[in-house]
Structure 1
Amino acid sequence: MPIAAVISLCLTAGLLILSFIFKVAGKTRQALPFLCLLLFSTVMNKWAGENETLAFIILFSLLGLTVISWIVSLIKAIQRRRDEKYFEDDVAWQIQRARDMGVPLDKIQFNEHGDLLDPRTGQPVVYGDGVQFKDL
């Protein structure tokens, strides 16, 4: 009976560790390369031994695709942050310009294009069609 308990405990701990590894691999987008490595080292061990070069090419290709996806995600995050910073600066500039022009800022509203609207007229204060750039 104690041997069955030890085997059960080891199996449970092993599955817990494997589950944790798959969770980390999924978060870092390495689940497919990890699964490939796991298959090559267990189920497809004979094939991987016979075709070692091909197995390494497949594994390194999957890792390369993972790195490329990380780079693309990093570039998109940098662009998104730059766009947010540009938008924040533009909003602050429009508010400052409206304040300089004497527009009441008690109910600030922006349209779908990001233009600050005059609460009295509903028209864009600084940008927009037909708006004259005042005192630039």
Structure 2
Amino acid sequence: MPMIDLTVGRGSVRDAKRADLLEELATILLRWEGAPDTEFFREITWVYLHEIEADQLAVGGRGGGSARFRVEVTVPEGALSPRRKAGLIADVHGAVVAAAGLDPHSAQALHVWTLIREVPEGSWGAAGAVVHFEQLKQTSAAERERSATS
């Protein structure tokens, strides 16, 4: 049940790239979580795009400046090892930089920040019930098995 919230300045991601970026971020997250890329797991992988006006961001307490990108990834605690976190951060960075048309080696590429938030066991709910990480792992294994036999 991973989730991504991408906050950008309005116009920072080109219109033609927006839908592709949202799909790519979901794909990246599923891959690094180790979840199968099936309809079930896509249905519970949400990506939100929040576009804000330039005057809604202050850098160093001052308005203006070049575009900033905040990517907040929320996953169940234990879903990502340190290696998976590093891979996720690198791939998310690459996807956002490409969609924004930035040089990945420029100073502006430093303005893409990725934050990973892990929700403690027992603190994530859906359909009015607590969802346990172990349940998701079991569902993932069943989805993999189902995909392999199809």
Where on the TM-score scale, by shorter chain, does this alignment land: which range? under 0.3
The structure having more radius of gyration, on CA atoms, is: 1
